[in-house]
Chains A and B, each alone.
Chain A
Amino acid sequence: MLKVYFKQAWNLIRQERLFSLIYIVGTGLSVSMVMVLSIVFYMKVANIYPETNRDRILVAKSGMVSFENGRNSSSSLSEGMINTCFASLDGVEAIALISRKDGEFLLQPEGDPVQLPVTVKYVNTDFWKVFPFRFIDGKPFTDADQQSAIRTAVIAESLSRRLFGKDEAVGKYISLNFRSYRVCGIVKDASLVTRETYSLIWLPYTLADGYQPNSSFYNTEALGEFSAYILASKDKNLADLKKEAEAAVERYGKTLHDKTFTALGQPDYYWQSIFRFWSNSRPEYGKLVLQYGLVLLILLLVPAVSLSGMTDSRMERRLAEMGVRRAFGAPVTTLMVQVISENFLFTVLGGVFGLLLSYLLLYLSRSWIMQLDATFVDVLPEGADVVFSPSMLVNYQVFGITLFVCFLLNLLSALIPAWRASHRQIIYSLNAK
């Protein structure tokens, strides 16, 4: 039956070309708006290189300390707090530490008087376990390098090519802020889409300026310069680990003297962490989901109303056909299914157009679109470009979302016209011009 419906819908497209074109383009425009948002969120939460373990990661970025005199301090977390709370938990495979002392540094290429601004991140050795970068050459820096603060660096492939061309870079030295670092590994570039891990150079966190083991900010013990990315082992239930980690944070807070500590509900699931912008407040996830859901619904409802009008006018033209079908034995429900199915073909064609259009829109807006939901906007590192890899855009999850959006849009736009067309009196339908 569906095959027959689609065959007829295809014939209708060929016979009513202008109408079909307008309908498909209209559908495509609305689908593209929804898909841009959906793909942005997909890229923020899905497992994409090098953050391919996001579904096994808990994130603790910040905490707040309240002193007896009423003063509050909030910031990133100290190394001591992270290790005390999370390192000994059952089912933790690795904990990546990323220092907030990252930023742009100046690189002095050999034989070139012009210095190169580059992004640098200070991370620990577990960073490479939690975020499995692809090493093109060499290895990550070792625990020994990290402990003894030896100046070693992992660099991105693009930087390696720029500095050393096709020559082997591992073992060579780079000059960063006029300090020399030995290159120990080359990794495939990360995209700025994965902002937490993106960099051109990664250094052991023990090399960060002013780093002192077990130091903390403002004498708080708990607050410091790190965000923690806790990787659960594959057989560990993430919800259980989150509960255990929250309990550990609570226990830790009680051990502090003259102050109280809260991680404001952290560690978060990875998807929750993308909404955490402030260190002294807890996001209301329910409200956020509702807000984004409403935005998506409005983006669907507004075009659905006009598409519904177009579908209705097409059904008016096909009223006699509806009468004939009913005369020859089509029940009302069958006709409704037919109209909705036929319309689905139009919507899917619009969906395909919309998806392609959303790729174009994403490309054109790549410098700001990934920060659409941000409370404040980070300036892109100089010379950096947001690159969307094919795997971020072309995958079954994105196709699945597109299909679902089409299904929803189709239902919103075709249900009422289908109901109206199929519930008219048969005689009225047959006599329709």
Chain B
Amino acid sequence: MITLTNLEKIYRTKEIETVALENVNLTVDKGEFLSIMGPSGCGKSTLLNIIGLLDAPTSGTVEIAGTYTANMNDKQLAMFRNQKLGFVFQSFHLINSLNVLDNVELPLLYRKVSAKERRVAAEAVLEKVGLSHRMRHFPTQLSGGQCQRVAIARAIVGNPDIILADEPTGNLDSKMGAEVMDLLHKLNKEDGRTIVMVTHNEEQAKQTSRTVRFFDGRQVM
């Protein structure tokens, strides 16, 4: 599903050159739930951003669902992300000036789906994450756990093959974190979605199908 080959990411300024990722080779199979672990600054978020086509590698190739992404322009990348990928961020990244329903509809907006269809799809996924009673609320009126469930609903509303989650429980207490993890496992097992998750939590990593570890930009296990 995802193949990274000889991936390298170097951040350069006038004075300093920082190697964020070095010679990363990684394959993620369809339907796999992969967790990425490592200390802060080891490059795991950078890796997730590159897989999510939010950032470009300095060298190496990224192949997702049989497509090499290297020569895509902004419009093609946007469309690819929209169709194939769903994102869950640590800090939720919900849009405070939109209500829950409008936040969830966001990916469908860029597919030019009609308003009615968007509404039906968004309502369905909100039902799935157990927030159908909060549809008209604004993010500032929700708890952290509810916000993250809205973010998950937004990630899956477009029915993407891959969900990329960057420390999805990092800002939640243990109870809410467990709820979110349950939801992700459900999406993996019942819907067959491929999930790549960055986490610091050993317990959560153990529950996934595979864990890869990074240290100083290198894959160590």
Q: Using CB atoms and an 8 Å cutoff, list the residues of chain A in contact with chain B.
A: 1, 3-4, 7-8, 11-12, 15, 320-321, 323-334, 425-427, 430
Which residue of B81, B98, B115 contacts A328 across the interface (Cβ within 8 Å)?
A: B81
Which residue of A4, A8, A328, A427 contacts B154 across the interface (Cβ within 8 Å)?
A: A328
Q: Tell me the nearest residue of chain B to A1, going by C-beta.
A: B109
- Would you call B97 and A8 a contact (CB within 8 A)? yes
Decide: A332 near B74, CB < 8 A? Known: A426-B54, A427-B49, A427-B54.
yes
Q: Tell me the nearest residue of chain B to A12, going by C-beta.
A: B97
Give the docked Cα–Cα distance between A328 and B82 (Å).
Answer: 5
Decide: A330 near B110, CB < 8 A? Known: A8-B97, A321-B95, A427-B55.
yes
Chain B residue contacts of A333, Cβ below 8 A:
75
Which residue of A11, A320, A331, A332 contacts B93 across the interface (Cβ within 8 Å)?
A: A320
Which residue of A4, A334, A426 contacts B55 across the interface (Cβ within 8 Å)?
A: A426
Give the docked Cα–Cα distance between A427 and B89 (Å).
Answer: 12
Output the least CB separation between B68 and chain A (Å). Answer: 19
Whether B79 sits at the interface, judged by CB under 8 Å, is: yes
Decide: A8 near B82, CB < 8 A? Known: A328-B110, A329-B107, A430-B89.
no
- Would you call B87 and A331 a contact (CB within 8 A)? no
Whether B111 sits at the interface, judged by CB under 8 Å, is: yes
Q: Using CB atoms and an 8 Å cutoff, list the residues of chain B in contact with chain A.
A: 49, 52, 54-55, 74-75, 78-79, 81-83, 87, 89, 93, 95-98, 102, 106-107, 109-112, 115, 154, 158
Could you list 9 examples of A-B contacts with CB < 8 Å?
A: A7-B102, A15-B97, A328-B158, A329-B83, A329-B111, A331-B74, A334-B110, A426-B49, A426-B54
- Would you call A327 and B97 a contact (CB within 8 A)? no
Which residue of B49, B75, B96 contacts A331 across the interface (Cβ within 8 Å)?
A: B75
- Would you call A4 and B102 a contact (CB within 8 A)? yes
Output the least CB separation between B47 and chain A (Å). Answer: 12
Q: Tell me the nearest residue of chain B to A10, going by C-beta.
A: B97
Output the least CB separation between B157 and chain A (Å). Answer: 10
Give the docked Cα–Cα distance between A325 and B109 (Å).
Answer: 10
Chain A residue contacts of B158, Cβ below 8 A:
328-329
Decide: A323 near B93, CB < 8 A? Known: A329-B81, A329-B111.
yes
Q: Tell me the nearest residue of chain A to B50, going by C-beta.
A: A427
Which residue of B54, B102, B110 contacts A8 across the interface (Cβ within 8 Å)?
A: B102
Q: Tell me the nearest residue of chain A to B78, going by C-beta.
A: A331
- Would you call B74 and A327 a contact (CB within 8 A)? no
Chain B residue contacts of A324, Cβ below 8 A:
89, 93, 95, 106
Chain A residue contacts of B55, Cβ below 8 A:
425-427
Output the least CB separation between B71 and chain A (Å). Answer: 16
Chain A residue contacts of B81, Cβ below 8 A:
327-329
Q: Tell me the nearest residue of chain B to A16, going by C-beta.
A: B97
Give the docked Cα–Cα distance between A323 and B158 (Å).
Answer: 18
Chain B residue contacts of A334, Cβ below 8 A:
78, 110
- Would you call A328 and B106 a contact (CB within 8 A)? yes
Chain B residue contacts of A425, Cβ below 8 A:
55
- Would you call B97 and A328 a contact (CB within 8 A)? no
Give the docked Cα–Cα distance between A4 and B98 (Å).
Answer: 9
